Structure 1
Amino acid sequence: MALSFIASVASVGVGFVPFYCVYRLMAMAIDGTLSWEGSTFWLVLAAAAYVASKLLFGASTLLSHVSAYTILASLREDFVRKLMKASLGTVQGKSIGSVKSVFVDRIENIEPPLAHMIPELGGSLVLAAGLAVWLVAIDWRVALACLASVPVGLLVFASSLKGFNAKYAAYMAESSHVNSVIVEYIEGIQVVKAFNQASDSYEKYAGAVRAFKDFTMQWFRSTWVTMNFMSSIMPTTLLGVLPAGIALYLGGSLAPADFAMCVILALAIVDPIMRFTAFVNDVKSMEYAVADAAEFLGLPELPETARSALVEGSAVELDGVCFSYDAGEEVIHDVSLSVPQGSFTALVGPSGSGKSTLARLIARHWDADAGSVKIGGADVRDMPLDQLSGLVSFVAQDNYLFDVSIRENIRLGRPGASDGEVAFAAAAACCDEFVQRLPRGYDTPVGEAGSALSGGERQRISIARAILKDAPVIVLDEATAFTDPESEDKIQRSIARLSEGKTLVVIAHRLSTVTGADQIAVVDDGRIAATGTHESLLASCPLYTRMWAAHVGAHDWAAGSKPAGPETAEARHAVSKTEGGRR
């Protein structure tokens, strides 16, 4: 950028040479000494200086664009690194519209000022100052006459900027709102169509667009008079130069060649001054872009140590864990839980009880406010995120698939894996059955967010990804919650392959899938209400008994038979009442 500015100033400096050459030619013409022999040198010098000026300006523009896009790339890389190092809660607290706006639009708005304003405006100011000094050197009175209209134009321009900051802030707020509404409308188009809400949802979308248009047009109309007035006054340098120059020429104080040169310089000084006013909006846009980018780049990061922790085994230990979202009301209260190495532990409980939060604390998507989460005897906060990532595989209800091939989606589990290793993991996750039916097999693109596949197929790919990763601790967040019975059976077989020899923590939606767990922890209102095996909990934990009765009743109802017995009906009523109260 510094070299770009230097090249821009050099371009301006060399750009003065043709003006001087014209001045010498005019002087010879007025004196009657103009000839081809005498003018050739000045013509060649003017042409050479003109070419050199354009080459220097081209170099300045090239350097400024290289600098600008390097800065943009660096900002976006820093942006993504920040999202990776910030807690998941912090990242998910931002709307998709605001993230997209900053990542795509705001950062892109930094490019025009960087690529154009700094070199071009710098050169323009130097050019304007140089022309003004040249006019003063010829005759200070002509210089004053030339610049007489400039202060008036700047005063008009300044008046048009009254309330500019407040209006620009409102403009950016309207822009962010319409951006979020557009993203929401496009992302929710399936729901809009499914529930026949096209007219209402479209009206919200169209209303936001109209409001943005109306605000922008109203702002533009309020500045049309002053901006046009300023644009009419600023270029009128000749209104002062011509009468002043004629008077001085007739009075014998100004030579003809100098008078002609003053006219040329008066015309040349307009462009750099007008450029200055044109860049005001770019400066404000860059200010907001930098502020928005700085807000994201300033998000708090999860503290990370550089030194690897000593991990002995894969046992998981939660000790006195308390947690709240964004310093709000505490949702996890003094939870302690031991998950022995190689064991199968299930977390069950009513919706909203804190099961998923506990699972995500193990993977350190957030940090506990109090207490500790340990893997292999080492606190997860005392190990680098890369080391923790290698220890834990987290499979959610609907893991995200990227718009690449099935093979590449599975390979995300271990980027250096061979095709054979990918195929082995896929077979272990029961992916072969549906992949073989696809025309391009494992090279078939999965579509945006895996849209070309069913929910069960997407889930099996995510499990294959986890099998390929081969982490010693597996956390499954209701991996079969939304699958059909056939897919559930295949996913259960995939999970069995995935968890062989691993420490397994499962958040269970269907209790029947975890009856064989080594221990079941019943989570209620952010606390561990009870732990034990399926049989012992049925005998000792009323909440688990009611949940089991409700689960069995739901299964019987789905199978077409009415649940029998007052105990089942009572249990179902109790669960319904409890969950209704929580909601």
Structure 2
Amino acid sequence: MTKYFQNKYALSKQGAKDLCKGILYSVLAYVSLMLPVALLACVLDSFLIALSWDSGQGGNILLYTVIGIVILAVIFVMHYLQYTLTYMGTYQESERRRISIAEKLRTMPLRFFHERDLSDLTSTIMGDCAGFEHAFSHTVPQFWGSILSTAIVCIVLLIYDWRMGLALLGVAPVAFAIVLFSRKLQTKQGQKHIDAKLALADGIQECLETVQDIKACNQETVYLKKLDEKMDAAEKAQISSEMVTASLVTTGQMFLQLGLATVIVVGNTLMINHQTTLFSYILFLIAASRLYAPLSGAMANMAELFSVDLQVKRLKEIQDYKEENKKKEYQTDGYDITFDHVSFAYEPGKPVLRDVSFTAKQGQVTALVGPSGGGKSTVANLAAGFYDVNGGKITLGGTDIAPIDSVAMMRDFSVVFQNVVLFNNTIMENIRIGRKDATDEEVIAAAKAARCHTFIEKLPDGYQTVIGENGSTLSGGECQRLSIARALLKDAPVILLDEATASLDVDNETEIQEAISKLVKGKTVLVIAHRMRTVENADKIVVLDGGVVAESGTHDELMKKNGLYARLVELQTASADWKLNGR
């Protein structure tokens, strides 16, 4: 049973055990609610016997009172245990689930994040996990508890009188079939609701991320109208899903209530024919009044379980995603990066790189230049092992990086991406991410090397200034320099700079280049840049165009070839001389 729940709902072993305990105590709690029925039946039987004997005695009232108090105590204890185990187990499992998903995402290859939309992942981690909490605290244990407890009571009633038992339970299979056979329809409507919510979440996230551009283009009205349409679509999808579910469940519950009429008809018939006793008749009437309530709840819970299956499926897609089983330890002969006839595509049939070959040697600066979309950033991502190549191979110090774990390989890489990511923490801690055991003095030294020290000293709390989410209180150039300081602090043998100076002015760019030049000795530096002046002094320049190496060499060699590189330099020189003409 434990293994079944573990596989079906993607639970941890402890979570499956807690669920089984919750179901067990739900069964006991529901069964305990039938104890007053049994007591009432005993009291009625006692009084009926007393009346039939024309006796003045009405049974042992004191005894029944004591039994009633004991039953109330049992009901209280069973419900307390059921509530405590169910809710505590659910929220502890929810904690384990969120941590496990976070740990799983931490080890995911970048290809996974390329395949999944950010709003989709956010909705899964936040919304689906919240739905999971509600389902496993309010639905799953109660559903199984009501089904199993009802089954136990039904067996007892059928043994007592199978004719009245069939009259009581005959409608239940039909009522549940109405809900069960409509599962496909409910799942379809539920999926439409999820898709509409994802579209809305994506629209809200896009609006928040691009609000500055929307306002700058005076498109608030147009954009908000589109967002309102997505909200309306999500609302309609939810109403439609709820209406379908409510209609089917209500129909099943209404049909279930026919059982009471069946009990009355069958009971009267048996009474007239002297085939049952008044006590049995009353007992089944009381049972009918108590038994159909948990069955009605079970039908509602069954409908919600269909929705839970959709949420569990989305969570399983993350948990069951194939992990990279690669080597954590490796050795290299130096740190030359060699691309050997490498081809790569993010999506099948859409190649980004085709037969790319070059070597970035240790102790030298290798620059990647070329038109936008040529594959420069892709080359950097492949060099760091973030993606697996589709053809050819990449070696680090003569060792093929394909079987090496990308997280383990990051020990030898310092990376500065084009899009800087900073955290809502102090400047000191943001730089220290490069090397967690670095001293304050080492952090400050890296900041000075990246030309950050001057502007940091002007901040209210210096290095202890909290910079806001993603460095919201800093300029783009200041954020870029902090990310460079972080990379310099790590002091890894391989440095990847993806448009690292894109947000810097000319003066700061020159200073950063001087700082980087001090680190080149004995290290492999791979630089991606659009500004040709940035890479003039590089030891080797690789020109990428359309996913292939168009040409390579030093600045002087490429200028003499008068090819694509020379044209790019000429275009940038011309743009630098461009100026507005007055009228």
User: What TM-score do the two structures reach when normalised by structure 1?
Assistant: 0.86
Q: Where does residue 578 of structure 1 map in the other structure?
A: none
Equivalent position amino acid for 1:21 in 2: L
Q: Where does residue 210 of structure 1 map in the other structure?
A: 232
Q: Where does residue 52 of structure 1 map in the other structure?
A: 77
Equivalent position amino acid for 1:28 in 2: S
Q: Where does residue 401 of structure 1 map in the other structure?
A: 422
Rate the CA distance shift 1:249–1:442 in 2: closer, same or farther, 3 A: farther
C-alpha distance in 2 between matches for 1:68 and 1:393: 37
SS in 2 for 1:330: strand
Residue 184 of structure 1 deviates from its aligned partner by: 2.0
Residue 42 of structure 1 deviates from its aligned partner by: 1.6
Q: Where does residue 364 of structure 2 map in the other structure?
A: 343
Rate the CA distance shift 1:348–1:120 in 2: closer, same or farther, 3 A: same
Q: Where does residue 318 of structure 1 map in the other structure?
A: 339
Check conservation: 1:395, 1:476, Cα contact below 8 A: yes
Residue 198 of structure 1 pairs with residue 220 of structure 2: yes
Equivalent position amino acid for 1:140 in 2: W
C-alpha distance in 1 between matches for 2:175 and 2:549: 73
Residue 67 of structure 1 deviates from its aligned partner by: 5.6
Rate the CA distance shift 1:47–1:322 in 2: closer, same or farther, 3 A: closer
Counterparts of residues 340-379 of structure 1 (less than 5 Å): 340-379=361-400
User: What TM-score do the two structures reach when normalised by structure 2?
Assistant: 0.86
Rate the CA distance shift 1:298–1:50 in 2: closer, same or farther, 3 A: closer
C-alpha distance in 2 between matches for 1:300 and 1:253: 65
Q: Deviations over 1:300-344 (max 9, x none)?
A: 5555224x2212222222222222222323332322222222111
Residue 289 of structure 1 pairs with residue 307 of structure 2: no
Q: Percent identity among equivalent residues?
A: 31
Rate the CA distance shift 1:487–1:392 in 2: closer, same or farther, 3 A: same
C-alpha distance in 2 between matches for 1:223 and 1:115: 20
SS in 1 for 2:354: strand
C-alpha distance in 2 between matches for 1:64 and 1:519: 60
Q: Where does residue 140 of structure 2 map in the other structure?
A: 118
Residue 457 of structure 1 deviates from its aligned partner by: 0.7
Q: Where does residue 85 of structure 1 map in the other structure?
A: 108
C-alpha distance in 2 between matches for 1:419 and 1:271: 66
Rate the CA distance shift 1:47–1:215 in 2: closer, same or farther, 3 A: closer
C-alpha distance in 2 between matches for 1:161 and 1:379: 50
Residue 124 of structure 1 deviates from its aligned partner by: 0.4
Rate the CA distance shift 1:480–1:8 in 2: closer, same or farther, 3 A: same
Counterparts of residues 224-235 of structure 1 (less than 5 Å): 227-235=249-257
Equivalent position amino acid for 2:115 in 1: G
C-alpha distance in 2 between matches for 1:385 and 1:156: 52
Residue 3 of structure 1 pairs with residue 3 of structure 2: no
Residue 206 of structure 1 deviates from its aligned partner by: 0.9
Report how many aligned residue pairs link the two structures. 557
C-alpha distance in 2 between matches for 1:40 and 1:338: 91
Rate the CA distance shift 1:299–1:203 in 2: closer, same or farther, 3 A: same
Q: Where does residue 331 of structure 1 map in the other structure?
A: 352
Check conservation: 1:405, 1:445, Cα contact below 8 A: yes
C-alpha distance in 2 between matches for 1:372 and 1:270: 67
SS in 2 for 1:110: helix
SS in 1 for 2:578: helix
Which of 535, 547, 553 is the matching residue for 1:532? Answer: 553
Q: RMSD of aligned C-alpha atoms?
A: 2.9
SS in 2 for 1:270: helix
Residue 25 of structure 1 pairs with residue 43 of structure 2: yes
Check conservation: 2:189, 2:237, Cα contact below 8 A: no
Q: Where does residue 568 of structure 2 map in the other structure?
A: 547
Q: Deviations over 1:205-262 (max 9, x none)?
A: 1111112323443455566665544444434543333454456556655545444432
Unaligned 5+ residue runs, structure 1? Answer: 563-583
Q: Where does residue 478 of structure 1 map in the other structure?
A: 499
Equivalent position amino acid for 1:42 in 2: I
C-alpha distance in 2 between matches for 1:446 and 1:497: 28
Check conservation: 1:321, 1:333, Cα contact below 8 A: yes
Counterparts of residues 461-540 of structure 1 (less than 5 Å): 461-499=482-520, 501-540=522-561
Which of 37, 60, 67 is the matching residue for 1:42? Answer: 67
SS in 1 for 2:422: coil
Q: Where does residue 580 of structure 1 map in the other structure?
A: none
Equivalent position amino acid for 2:399 in 1: A
Residue 427 of structure 1 deviates from its aligned partner by: 2.3
Q: Where does residue 206 of structure 2 map in the other structure?
A: 184
SS in 1 for 2:139: helix
Residue 265 of structure 1 pairs with residue 265 of structure 2: no
Check conservation: 1:404, 1:447, Cα contact below 8 A: yes
C-alpha distance in 2 between matches for 1:221 and 1:10: 33
Q: Where does residue 579 of structure 1 map in the other structure?
A: none
Q: Where does residue 163 of structure 1 map in the other structure?
A: 185
Rate the CA distance shift 1:500–1:457 in 2: closer, same or farther, 3 A: farther
C-alpha distance in 1 between matches for 2:20 and 2:444: 53
SS in 2 for 1:557: coil
Q: Which moved more, 1:30-39 or 1:464-473?
A: 30-39
Rate the CA distance shift 1:469–1:231 in 2: closer, same or farther, 3 A: same
Residue 7 of structure 1 deviates from its aligned partner by: 2.8
Equivalent position amino acid for 2:357 in 1: S
Rate the CA distance shift 1:400–1:526 in 2: closer, same or farther, 3 A: same
Equivalent position amino acid for 2:108 in 1: K
Q: Where does residue 572 of structure 1 map in the other structure?
A: none
C-alpha distance in 1 between matches for 2:511 and 2:419: 16
C-alpha distance in 1 between matches for 2:216 and 2:149: 63
Q: Where does residue 570 of structure 1 map in the other structure?
A: none
Q: Which moved more, 1:129-138 or 1:400-409?
A: 129-138
C-alpha distance in 1 between matches for 2:230 and 2:326: 42
Residue 75 of structure 1 deviates from its aligned partner by: 4.6
Check conservation: 1:456, 1:488, Cα contact below 8 A: no
Check conservation: 1:396, 1:476, Cα contact below 8 A: yes
Q: Deviations over 1:191-211 (max 9, x none)?
A: 211111111111111111112
Q: Which moved more, 1:33-42 or 1:117-126?
A: 33-42
C-alpha distance in 1 between matches for 2:376 and 2:32: 71
Equivalent position amino acid for 1:80 in 2: L
Rate the CA distance shift 1:18–1:487 in 2: closer, same or farther, 3 A: farther
C-alpha distance in 1 between matches for 2:538 and 2:546: 22
SS in 1 for 2:23: helix
Check conservation: 2:552, 2:558, Cα contact below 8 A: yes
Rate the CA distance shift 1:236–1:436 in 2: closer, same or farther, 3 A: farther
Check conservation: 2:29, 2:75, Cα contact below 8 A: no
Q: Deviations over 1:26-69 (max 9, x none)?
A: 33344234245433442343233223322332244145414641
Q: Where does residue 406 of structure 2 map in the other structure?
A: 385
Q: Where does residue 133 of structure 1 map in the other structure?
A: 155
Q: Where does residue 576 of structure 1 map in the other structure?
A: none
